[in-house]
Structure 1
Amino acid sequence: MAPTLPPSRQASYSLKDGDSFLVCDARGDIHGGDEADGLFHDGTRALSRLRLSLDGTAPTLLSAAIAQDRVVFSAHLTNRPLPPIGGSAAGQGVIHVSRSRFLWQGRLHERITCTNYDRVPVSVPLVLEFAADFRDMFEVRGMERARRGSYPQAEARGDRVVLHYDGLDGVSRRTVLAFSAAPTVLDHGMARFECRLAPRESFELYMEVGADAGEPSAARHRRAMVHARRALRARRRSGARLHGGGLLFDAWVERSRTDIALLASDLPSGRYPYAGIPWFSTPFGRDAIVTALQTLWLDPDLARGVLAYLAERQAAEDSSFRDSAPGKIMHEARKGEMAALGEVPFGLYYGGVDTTPLFVLLAGRYLRRTGDRAFIDRLWPALERAIGWIERSCDADPDGLLAYARGEASGLSNQGWKDSEDSVFHADGSLPQGPVALVEVQGYVYEALLAMAMLARGRGAHDAARAWEARAGRLRETVESRFWDPDLEFYALARDGSGRMCRVLASNPGHLLYVGLPAPERAAHVIAQLGSPRFDNGWGVRTLATDQPRYNPMSYHNGSVWPHDVALCAAGMARYGARRQATRLLGEVFEAATHFDMRLPELFCGFPRSAGEPPIAYPVACMPQAWSAGAVFMLLHACLGVEVDAVEGRILIDHPQLPPGVERLRVDALDVGGARVDLAFERVGDRVLAARAAGPDDVQVVVRL
C-alpha cells in the first residue's frame, strides 16, 4: 500500500535496532507533526520532537553522516552569533556542537558536546525541546482516528522528565528523557543548560530516551555503543563474502550487506529482516521471503530464520477481517494501539495471496541449498498446511488458479506485491472485479507444487510427490493457455472474477521466468519486451510499459522502477540463458545505486534515463529497504550463474558473466554442507573464467563456459 505523506523538509537519517527505529534530519532534530520522523518503538512514536538550539536559534549545519557500520549517527554544527550575557556577543562559527547517537535495546543514547573555539570565555545556552505524541504508525501515515487516549501530566524533576500516554487499548506508555547533568530549567517540553566555557573548553552532555529511566554517563554510553556495534557486526559476518570488484562495486555490496544486517532483528526463531524504514519497519511475509531468496546462495541462515518465524504464525482460523484461512502464511505483523484495538487488521494480517506459495518455494530452495533435512522435517506440518490452503483455493476457482478477493473493505484491495489500489487493471484502464488471479502468483504456485513433490520424495512419500507433480503440470498448461496473448506476444497481467483477462504489459511475467514456467520460445518474447525501451528506462525495468493505460513514471506501481522487481526479472532471464541481458540490468542498477549513495531505495521514478542526469527519486520511498538492499545479490547470482546443491555436494557455475567495469570477483567462504569453498571469477578477453580458489576437493565444482 503506497504511503501518502509528503516528503520530509530535508534529507533524513535513520537508525534501527530490534523493534525501535529513529528518523531525524541532518541536524539530528525531530520535528514530528505530519512529518515521518521520530523515535518509534513497537509501532508507536515515542518521541515526536527533539530540537537542539542555542538560546532558541538553530545552529548551522556543517555535516551529518551515519558511520559506515550503520550504528552511529553524527552531526557537526556551529553557532550563529550568540547574544551577549554579561559581556560582548560571541561571533559566528566559534562554538562547535557535535551530536552522536545510536539505538540499543529500545533506548536512544545521545552525546552532545559543545566546544568553545573563541579566544574569550563564552556563555552557551543549550536548549533541547522535546515532545511525545505517542501516535500510532498508521496515524503518522495519515489515517484519522475518531478518538485517542489521554495524556496524564508530565513529570519533570531533577535530571529527567517522564511523558505519559494512556492508550485506549489499556496500555500505559511512557517516554523518559534522562540527562547526565541536571538542566538549569526543566519542564514538560524543554531542558535548558547554561554552559560557561573558557577558550578550548568543552561541555559534554549525555542523554538517554526510553520507556524507563536510565542513568546516562560517559561510561554507560561507551558500553552500550560497544554492544550495539558488536551485535550488528555479528549479523554482517553471516554468510559468504564478496570482494574484489573494485572500490565502487565493493562499496555497494558492503552497503547492501550492512543494510540487511541493520534491518534484521534477532528473534527467538532466528534472524528476520524487517521490510523497511520508516513505513515498514516490522515483519512482512513477502518482503522477508524475497530477501531470503536474494541472499540464499550466500547466507542460507537468513532463510531459515524467515521460514521458522512464518511457520510459527501460520493462520489457524478463518477471518474475513484479517483475510486469514487455515494454512495461510502471514503478510504483515504490527504492534501498536490501532492494531491491538482492531482499528486496522494488520496486527496479524494474511492478505497476501503470494506469501503462502513463496513460503513453500523458499523451503524447497533452502533444502537444495543446504541439505538441512532435519529443519525441513520440523517444518513439514506447516508446509502441508500451506499447500493444503493453496490446493483448496485452486479447487474453488473455475480455472484452478490461485486468486484473491479481500474479505472486508479494511483489507488490501490488491494482494500481490503490487498492492496499491490501481495496480491491476484492464487494457481500457478499468479496475477488475475479484477474485483476481495474478500471472506471477500462478508461477509461484507452480514451483511450490514442484517443491512439495521434491520434499515428499525425500521423505519417501512417492504417491504424494507424483500427485503434486501432476498438479503442477496441469497448472502450467492452464497458465500457457489462459494467460499467453499471441497479439501482445506477452502474458496477461491477471484474470478477473468474470474470466476476462487483463491484457496489460506489466513486469509481472518476469517473475514467471524466475520459476521457469514459460515455454522457451515464449520466454524469449518476454525477455525481448522487458529489455525494450518501453520497459527498460536505462536504470532498470519499469513495472509497467510506457504505452499502457495508467502508466505514470511517478506512480507507486504503474511505471516506477523497483530494484527487487528488476532482480527477479534478471534472474528469470538468466534462467533461460539470457545471462548477458541480466548482466546489462545489473550494470544499470549499479549505476543507479551510485546516485543514491550506494543505497538503493524501495523504488524510484520510471522516467527515461537522460545523459548526465541521475535517476529521479520517489519522494516517500523507504530507505533502507530489505529487498532493495538484497537486489545486488540476486543480480550477481543471475550473472555469475552459481548454483549450490548441498544435497549433491556440488557447485555448478554456468556461463558466468561479470558486471560492466568489474574485471574480477571473489566469493569466499561459500558454505556447502559444512565445507567452505572460495570461488574466483576473472574477465579474460570477451570471456569470464571461473575456478575454485580454495576449499576441499570433496565438493565438486563444475564450470560451464
Structure 2
Amino acid sequence: MIQKVRLGEEWYILAAASPVDERRRVLKDNETFAVFDRFGDAQSIGLGEEGIYYGDTCFLSHLEMQIGGMRPMFLNSTVRGDNGLFVIELMNPDLHPGTDEAIPKGVLHLFRAKLLRNNASYEHVRIVNFGLERIRTSLTFLFGSDFKDIFEVRGFNRTRRGVDLPPQVSVAEVLLGYRGLDEIVRHTRVEFDPAPQRLVQDQAEFQLDLAPKEEAHCYLTIGYEEGQASAAPRPAYFEVYRRCDEEMRARQQQRCRISSSDPLFNSWVDRSTSDLIMLSTRLRDGEYPYAGLPWYSTTFGRDGILTAWEMLWVEPQMARGVLGFLAANQASDMDPARDAEPGKILHEARNGELARLGETPFRRYYGTVDATPLFVGLAGAYHQRTGDLEFIRSIWTNILDALSWIDEYGDRDGDGFVEYARHTEKGLAQQGWKDSHDSVFHHDGQLAEAPIALCEVQGYVYDAKVQAARLANLLGDHEMARRLESAAAELKREFNRRFWCPEIRMYALALDGSKRQCAVGASNAGHALWSGIATEEYASQVAQSLVSADFFCGWGVRTLRADEVRYNPMAYHNGSVWPHDNALIAAGMARYGMTDKALQIFTGMREVSLYMDQHRMPELFCGFEKRPEEGPTLYPVACSPQAWAAASVFYLLQACLGLSFDAAQNRVCFRNPRLPDFLDSLSFRDLAVGNATVDLQLQRYPHNVGINIVRKDGNVSVVNLA
C-alpha cells in the first residue's frame, strides 16, 4: 500500500506496492466516491484504495460477491460513457464438482449495475440460469468497514484511533459504526432487498433455486450517515437510476458540445466531459471541480483554478463557482500552522477525522504560492469570456486582498519577485505545482534553499497585475490601473533580466534564497509563455527547447530535461509527463505565434488518449521515450480521472484555434486557427457568448481553417483574424 512517513521533517508518499489491477473503476456523486476493481468488488489489497468514501472517510472498505462460495469468472465491465453507471458481467466457475449439485462453468450469468447518489451506493444484481437443468447454489456478499481517514489509506500511521461500535443486525440490514477521536459518530448502513436467508455483521447469503431460463434479482444499498443514525427509507434502485439518468443528460446539455470527424478524438472529448461533470461538486457558491480520484477528491485552489481556466471557453460557469468558493475561503489572518496569511488563496481543504483533529494541517491549508495570483488571473479571464462585471464587483475586495498578499507577503524581501517558504514543519516544503520535496534544485542536484522564487509564479503574478489593471479601469479606479500596469511592466523587465539563463537557453527553474539561479531545464519555463511574461526572443528559444528530443518524448513535454542530474522518467515531477502542463505550454506557444509546435503537443496527447483505458487522460504518465507500436508507460499511483488532465483536451483545442472572446462586442474570435492532421472537421454546438449561442462548423485546410456559422440564436458575430 502507499505509505506516508516523516523523513527529515518532510512529507513523503511512498508506493510500497503496485495496483492489483490498473483497470479499476471509479464513480463519484458530489461528496461520495467509490473505487472498485473490474469485478465490482472492493478489497484491501494492492494500494488499498478500493472502497466507498464519503468525503475523506472510507465507509465501506470491503465488498465481495461470491457464487457458490467462489469468486465469479470475469466477462466484461465498463463505466457508461456519462460515468453514471458501472456495469459488470460475470459467470460462474465450475461449482460443487463431484456432487449432485455440480454446476458446470458458464451456466449462470451474473449482472451487476452500480451507481452513486445522495451519499449512498445502489446496486442491482441479476442472476440468470442459461442451463438445461434446475440449479441450486448460494449468492454471498462479504462486507466490512474500517472507517479509515483517506490519509490513513494513503499510509499515515496513527498512534491511536477511535472505537468501533457494536454492529446492529436486523432482518435485512446491518448498521456498522465508529466513534472517532473527534467525537463524531460515523455509520455505514448496508441494506438488502429482498432479505437474505442468512445475515450477520459481515456477510449476507441468498439461496438460489433457479429453473432453466429463470432469473433472480437482489438489490444492495450502502449508505453513509454521520451523527445520529437515521432509519429513513431510501428510494428504490430504479427510481434512483431514473433520476440520475435525467440529471446527467441535463448537465451534459448545459455546455458547448464538441464533435469531430475523428471518432477516437470524440471518445477522448466525451470521456473528458463526463469526467469533469463527475468530478464537479455542487457547493454553495456553484460547482467546483474536485481535483482527482482517489487521493484528491476535494477542493484544491490551484487545481480548481487551472481546470476552470482550461474549460472557460466551453463552460464559463465553472470558473464562477471556483472563484466564488475561493473568495469565500480566502485567508484573513496570520496562522503559521496552516501557512495562512491575509489575502492568500486556499491550497487544500479536508474534512476527515485527521484534519479535524489537526493531525494533518490540511483542514484549511494555504501552503501554495501560486493559487493567489492565479485567482486574480482567472477573475480577469472570466470577465473577458463573459462580460460579467457584476460578479467581479462582488469579489473585488477579494481580488484587492489577493493583490495585497502578492506585494506584502508574497514578495518577502521586496525584490519584486514572489517567493515561498513554509511556516510550519508539517506543511509542504515545495509550494508550486511541482510540490515534490526534490522538485526544485540546482544544476548539480543540490536542493534549493527557501525562500524560493519559481519561474512560472512570476508569470502568474505578471498576468494577475495585467488583468487586475484592466478590471480596475472598468470599475473606475484609473490610478490603481496605472500602478498595476507599471508594476507589471517592471516585473516583466526584471524577470527577463534575472531569470534568463543563456547556458540552458531557457528561463531558470527558480531563484533560491540567495538569489542564485537554479539553472535547470524544466517545463516550468513554458508557463512563462502562457502568462505572456516572456520576451519574443526568449519565448522562441524556450519553445524550441521544449520540443527538442531532450524534452519531448514523443508523447508530450517532460517536466524535466533528460540531461538534468535529477532526471528520472518515473519521478512524479522530475521527468514524467503531465497533460495539463502540456496544455498550458501549448497555449503559450500559440500565444507567441508558434502554433506548429502547439500542434505537435496536441498530436502527442491525442495518441496518448488512444492507449488509455476508457480514453481517460490520467494525472501523469512516465516520460520514457516513445517506442514503435508501444503505448505510454503508466505512473502507478496517478489519479485517474484528474480534473486538470481531463480539461487539457479543451485547452489544447482552444490554443491551436487561437480561440478567444470579446464579451463586450459579443464576438467569437479565431486568430490564425489551425487544426491537427487527425481532425478534418470539427463542430461546436451551443457555444455561448453572452445571452447568445452559436453553432459552428470548422474545416481543416493545409495552412488555415474554414469557419461556417451553422446556426445562431441572438446577437453574436464570428471573426477569423489572420
Q: TM-score, normalized by length of structure 2?
A: 0.95
Q: 1:636 aligns with which of 653, 668, 679?
A: 653
* 601-610 or 401-410, which deviates more: 401-410
* Paired residues for 1:147-546 under 5 Å: 147-211=160-224, 220-546=236-562
* Paired residues for 1:579-658 under 5 Å: 579-596=595-612, 597-658=614-675
- Asked if residue 4 in structure 1 is aligned to residue 14 in structure 2, the reply is yes
Structure 2 alignment gaps of length 5 or more: 1-10
Deviation at residue 32 of structure 1 after TM alignment: 2.3
Q: Is the 8 A contact 2:76 2:90 kept in 1?
A: yes
User: Which whole-Å CA distance do the structure 1 matches of 2:378 and 2:557 have between them?
Assistant: 24
User: Which whole-Å CA distance do the structure 2 matches of 1:200 and 1:313 have between them?
Assistant: 58
* 393-402 or 8-17, which deviates more: 393-402
Q: TM-score, normalized by length of structure 1?
A: 0.97
Which letter does structure 2 place at the counterpart of 1:626? A
Q: Is the 8 A contact 2:128 2:214 kept in 1?
A: yes
| Corresponding residue for residue 20 of structure 1 | 32
Deviation at residue 348 of structure 1 after TM alignment: 0.9
Which letter does structure 2 place at the counterpart of 1:470? S
User: Which whole-Å CA distance do the structure 2 matches of 1:226 and 1:165 have between them?
Assistant: 33
Q: 2:61 aligns with which of 41, 48, 56?
A: 48
User: Which whole-Å CA distance do the structure 2 matches of 1:69 and 1:463 have between them?
Assistant: 49
* 448-457 or 206-215, which deviates more: 206-215
Which letter does structure 2 place at the counterpart of 1:26? R
Deviation at residue 22 of structure 1 after TM alignment: 0.3
User: Which whole-Å CA distance do the structure 1 matches of 2:638 and 2:361 have between them?
Assistant: 23
User: Which whole-Å CA distance do the structure 1 matches of 2:12 and 2:526 have between them?
Assistant: 22
Which letter does structure 2 place at the counterpart of 1:664? S
Q: Is the 8 A contact 2:551 2:557 kept in 1?
A: yes
Which letter does structure 1 place at the counterpart of 2:378? L
| Corresponding residue for residue 717 of structure 2 | 700
Q: Is the 8 A contact 2:55 2:297 kept in 1?
A: no
User: Which whole-Å CA distance do the structure 1 matches of 2:406 and 2:541 have between them?
Assistant: 30
Q: Is the 8 A contact 1:333 1:349 kept in 2?
A: yes
Identity of aligned residues (%): 43
- Asked if residue 668 in structure 1 is aligned to residue 688 in structure 2, the reply is no
User: Which whole-Å CA distance do the structure 2 matches of 1:236 and 1:162 have between them?
Assistant: 36
Structure 1 alignment gaps of length 5 or more: none
Q: Is the 8 A contact 1:178 1:215 kept in 2?
A: no
**Secondary structure at 2:14's aligned position in 1?**
coil
Deviation at residue 700 of structure 1 after TM alignment: 3.4
Q: Is the 8 A contact 1:178 1:214 kept in 2?
A: no
Q: Is the 8 A contact 2:569 2:622 kept in 1?
A: yes
Q: Is the 8 A contact 2:369 2:410 kept in 1?
A: no
Which letter does structure 2 place at the counterpart of 1:334? R
Q: Is the 8 A contact 1:310 1:329 kept in 2?
A: yes
**Secondary structure at 2:121's aligned position in 1?**
strand
User: Which whole-Å CA distance do the structure 1 matches of 2:104 and 2:715 have between them?
Assistant: 72
User: Which whole-Å CA distance do the structure 2 matches of 1:111 and 1:405 have between them?
Assistant: 52
Deviation at residue 574 of structure 1 after TM alignment: 0.1
* Paired residues for 1:126-145 under 5 Å: 126-145=139-158
Deviation at residue 236 of structure 1 after TM alignment: 2.3
Deviation at residue 694 of structure 1 after TM alignment: 2.9
User: Which whole-Å CA distance do the structure 2 matches of 1:153 and 1:420 have between them?
Assistant: 42
Q: 1:577 aligns with which of 587, 593, 614?
A: 593
| Runs of 4+, deviation exceeding 4 Å | 212-217
Q: Is the 8 A contact 2:96 2:102 kept in 1?
A: yes
Deviation at residue 498 of structure 1 after TM alignment: 1.4
Q: Is the 8 A contact 1:3 1:620 kept in 2?
A: no
Q: 1:32 aligns with which of 30, 44, 49?
A: 44
| Corresponding residue for residue 7 of structure 2 | none
- Measured against aligned partners, the alpha-carbon deviations of 1:531-570 in whole angstroms (never above 9, x if no partner) come to 1011100101000000001100001000000000000000
Which letter does structure 1 place at the counterpart of 2:62? R
**Alpha-carbon spacing, 1:269–1:382, altered in 2? closer, same or farther (3 Å):** same
- Measured against aligned partners, the alpha-carbon deviations of 1:349-371 in whole angstroms (never above 9, x if no partner) come to 11111000000000001111100
Which letter does structure 2 place at the counterpart of 1:384? L
User: Which whole-Å CA distance do the structure 1 matches of 2:13 and 2:137 have between them?
Assistant: 41
Deviation at residue 696 of structure 1 after TM alignment: 6.0
- Asked if residue 70 in structure 1 is aligned to residue 83 in structure 2, the reply is yes
**Alpha-carbon spacing, 1:214–1:664, altered in 2? closer, same or farther (3 Å):** farther
Deviation at residue 248 of structure 1 after TM alignment: 1.2
**Secondary structure at 2:164's aligned position in 1?**
coil
**Secondary structure at 2:177's aligned position in 1?**
strand
* 449-458 or 183-192, which deviates more: 183-192
User: Which whole-Å CA distance do the structure 1 matches of 2:395 and 2:347 have between them?
Assistant: 18
**Secondary structure at 1:35's aligned position in 2?**
coil
Which letter does structure 1 place at the counterpart of 2:308? A
* 43-52 or 188-197, which deviates more: 188-197
* 302-311 or 644-653, which deviates more: 644-653
Which letter does structure 1 place at the counterpart of 2:178? Y
- Measured against aligned partners, the alpha-carbon deviations of 1:402-446 in whole angstroms (never above 9, x if no partner) come to 111111111111000000111111111011110111010000000
Q: Is the 8 A contact 1:208 1:214 kept in 2?
A: no
**Alpha-carbon spacing, 1:496–1:94, altered in 2? closer, same or farther (3 Å):** same
Q: Is the 8 A contact 2:620 2:638 kept in 1?
A: yes
User: Which whole-Å CA distance do the structure 1 matches of 2:170 and 2:98 have between them?
Assistant: 27
Deviation at residue 216 of structure 1 after TM alignment: 8.2
**Alpha-carbon spacing, 1:426–1:685, altered in 2? closer, same or farther (3 Å):** closer
User: Which whole-Å CA distance do the structure 2 matches of 1:205 and 1:100 have between them?
Assistant: 11
User: Which whole-Å CA distance do the structure 2 matches of 1:395 and 1:101 have between them?
Assistant: 51
Which letter does structure 2 place at the counterpart of 1:40? Y
User: Which whole-Å CA distance do the structure 2 matches of 1:472 and 1:394 have between them?
Assistant: 15
Q: Is the 8 A contact 2:693 2:716 kept in 1?
A: no
User: Which whole-Å CA distance do the structure 2 matches of 1:647 and 1:2 have between them?
Assistant: 48
User: Which whole-Å CA distance do the structure 1 matches of 2:411 and 2:563 have between them?
Assistant: 36
Deviation at residue 698 of structure 1 after TM alignment: 4.5
Which letter does structure 2 place at the counterpart of 1:141? R
- Measured against aligned partners, the alpha-carbon deviations of 1:275-321 in whole angstroms (never above 9, x if no partner) come to 11000011111111111110111211111111011111011111111
Q: Is the 8 A contact 2:81 2:270 kept in 1?
A: no
User: Which whole-Å CA distance do the structure 2 matches of 1:616 and 1:238 have between them?
Assistant: 35
| Corresponding residue for residue 8 of structure 2 | none
User: Which whole-Å CA distance do the structure 1 matches of 2:363 and 2:146 have between them?
Assistant: 21
- RMSD between aligned alpha carbons? 1.6
Deviation at residue 394 of structure 1 after TM alignment: 4.5
* 338-347 or 643-652, which deviates more: 643-652
